[in-house]
Amino acid sequence: MQLIARQSLACACVGVLALGACVAQGQSLTTKRVAVGLNGSLFATAPPGDTERLFIVQQGGQIRILDLTNESLLPTPFITIAVQSVGEQGLLGLAFHPDYDQNGYFYVNYSRPGDGDTVVARYKVSDKDPNVADPNSALQLFTIDQPFSNHNGGWIGFGPNDGYLYVSMGDGGSGNDPGDRAQNLDILLGKMLRIDVDGDDFPGDPNNNYAIPPTNPFVDKPGRDEIWAYGLRNPWRAGFDRDTGDLYIGDVGQSNREEIDFQPGDSTGGENYGWKCEEGFACGAQQSRFCRCGDENLLPPILDVGRGLGQCITGGYVYRGSAIPALQGTYFYADYSSDRIWSLRYDGNNISEHVERTTELRAPDFILSDIASFGEDGHGELYICDRGGEIFKIISAAPPCEDIRKFKANCNNNGFVKAVVKLTNDLSDGLSVLIGIGDDEYDVEINGKKAKTKECCYEGAVSVQLLDPADCKPAIDVNCP
């Protein structure tokens, strides 16, 4: 089996459920293209509380703004930064200060022209135009030497629980971490860093402008104080759950496994995610002088993906938007090489509702390929960035409430629950509605003006309801003798 998690991921129609539709593994979705022509689009995000704009990072050094009120790109870039943009290098990360609406500060992670070293810097929005940044406001927070051009990491983000800036760093590149950097606590490569951007512990050094959070795990201990977690190979894309503060890290593998690492929102840091002693759940091809495969302190991923399914994992986000209530708490991730997309739920111990979304999220008439990143807008709605320059929004595939004319349900003497949704007009093939029958959920395809299902076996009072679209019709209670 190529895909492994801490519990069975298969959804099978078994027993009495085999007589009807398979219990749904989540919300039926599709996408719509909201922007095009953004060559090398690598990331999308928004300032806290800003629900009208989406900021899109392009690898070549530009940040563009998408006006969400009319889904149009503003003609003038928010900012253009000189970067080295070859292969995995370029403008790789963007994060807005939690108090952006007050101070106008935003932070970028990019490859420096000439040597490709990682630079994390602060900029400020213009005092005159909220859609344009001040290019002369740059303040370098720090730089990190990059021995090779690959494995830069590049994601940055502010922790929703602590307000600190997290910075993902790859192991320095080449293959199999030849410098054994990811496990070396005296080196910042192969780590997740955590810094305080509102302080300065280096007042005499113009090249370092940040403070160390006093609760970082290696403060007053051997190891660099900036390190929050370690043992990462190339954490290309990570993402916080904005509700819980849980951190999901998509870490690109060497030649055998891809993985998603997890850090709970109440973590005190110091996790060792195992590279290069371990690659996913497997042992690494080459061992480190700092650890051995199977060491108790190595934290395994929550998900391990074999090369038969993916070769370059793209970490994503947990959905916390309001447009698709049934999707709440669902995590999305993808594979850059195969263009496949999955979603799952994780409760801190077990994975559930793990389903491939590739077919349903392929936008009609458009090519969704080279998936470089996911993104969130101010509402928590999710977007997909492909490196060819297109931005897609994840939306419900169900009809809107105004298309729902009637919803009815009943139960016959044999315990079969029948539910029918009638619509005002024909909808395209492939759309569906999500129907809840008791504790079970069914993804029911629409055929013409009707969606219907027949499920067994239930006893007693059973509540039947439309889960998607939500709140279109009240729940119906039926009694199954």
For residues 83 and 134, the answer to whether their CB atoms sit within 8 Å is no
Domain range annotation of the chain: 30-396, 401-480
What is each CA distance from 143 to 4, 112, 115, 188, 219, in whole angstroms?
37, 9, 11, 10, 20
Whose tokens are 């904005």? That residue is 242
What DSSP string describes 118-146? EEEEEEEE-SS-TTSEEEEEEEEEEEE--
For residues 283 and 291, the answer to whether their CB atoms sit within 8 Å is no
For residues 40 and 389, the answer to whether their CB atoms sit within 8 Å is yes
Write down the pLDDT at residue 27: 66
Confidence check: pLDDT of 260 > 80: yes
pLDDT in tens, 37-65: 999 999 999 999 999 999 999 999 999 99
Question: What are the phi and psi torsion angles at 66 (to 5°)?
Answer: -100, 120
Quick one: which of 392, 356, 400 has its CA closest to 374? 392
Q: Does domain 30-396 have CATH number 1.10.1370.30?
A: no
SS3 for 328-364, per residue?
A: CCCEEEEECCCCCEEEEEECCCCEEEEEECHHHHCCC
Classify domain 401-480 at the CATH topology level.
Immunoglobulin-like (2.60.40)
Q: Helix, strand, or coil here: 204?
A: coil
pLDDT > 70 in the chain, percent? 93
Confidence check: pLDDT of 434 > 70: yes
Confidence check: pLDDT of 132 > 50: yes
User: How sure is the predictor about 18, in pLDDT bands with cuts at 50, 70 and 90?
Assistant: very low
Least confident of 30-39, 43-52, 246-255, 362-371: 362-371
Q: Read off the pLDDT of each residue in 132-149 and give the average, rounded to a whole number.
A: 98
Write down the pLDDT at residue 17: 30
In the Cβ-directed half-sphere of 186, how many Cα atoms lie within 13 Å? 4
Q: Which two tokens stand for residue 388?
A: 């060819």
